Amino acid sequence: VIGVVIGKTDVRSFPDRKNIGTERYTFNFTIRDSPAYFINVQSWGREEYIRSLSESFRVGDCVTIENPLIQSKEAEREEKFNPVTPSGYKLLLSENHSVVKTSSCYDTDTRLLALLHLPVKDPQDYYSLGDIVANGQSLHGRVLNVLAAVMAVSE
């Protein structure tokens, strides 16, 4: 699978239920290979493997993923913490079987770079900040998708 990384989480650790007293490490990222299709990738493993893998690429890089495990996703649970994707599947990386290679999108396919700026949500499924200000009371308690732009960054 070849795609551009459009999102990435930080490395996290969890107690290993099989080996009490040890930790398992994980991080997720999302890749896109066309305007309509993107998929979440999950990796689990030893701290050294996960940290090294996470540091090997960043958002905007093109990656080639070899030998991932393809799993059905559990939409309710997984989409709380990852972008909602159009696929019913996710990719799972294994330290022993999977390989992630990074390359320049210019070397791979310049069309992938354009995918970095496309929204992952339906254009009709957003609220603007103006809508939220005008209708704030009626939106109280609802989960919303917000479309906004950063105008300035300062202290």
d(Cα 113, Cα 53) in Å, to the nearest integer? Answer: 21
DSSP at 112 = H
Looking at the domain assignment, is residue 78 inside a domain? yes
Looking at the domain assignment, is residue 130 inside a domain? no
Looking at the domain assignment, is residue 68 inside a domain? yes
d(Cα 99, Cα 52) in Å, to the nearest integer? Answer: 12
Looking at the domain assignment, is residue 122 inside a domain? no
- Quickly list DSSP for 4-34: EEEEEPPPEEEE-SSSTT-EEEEEEEEEESS
In which domain, by residue range, is 22 found? Answer: 2-115
Domain count, the chain: 1
d(Cα 13, Cα 115) in Å, to the nearest integer? Answer: 31
Global pTM value? 0.77
Looking at the domain assignment, is residue 76 inside a domain? yes
Higher pLDDT, residue 49 or 105: 49
Looking at the domain assignment, is residue 56 inside a domain? yes
Looking at the domain assignment, is residue 93 inside a domain? yes
Q: Two tokens at 149? A: 């732009």
pLDDT in tens, 5-53: 999 999 999 888 888 888 889 999 999 998 889 999 999 999 999 999 9
pLDDT in tens, 61-89: 899 999 999 999 886 666 666 777 888 89
Looking at the domain assignment, is residue 26 inside a domain? yes
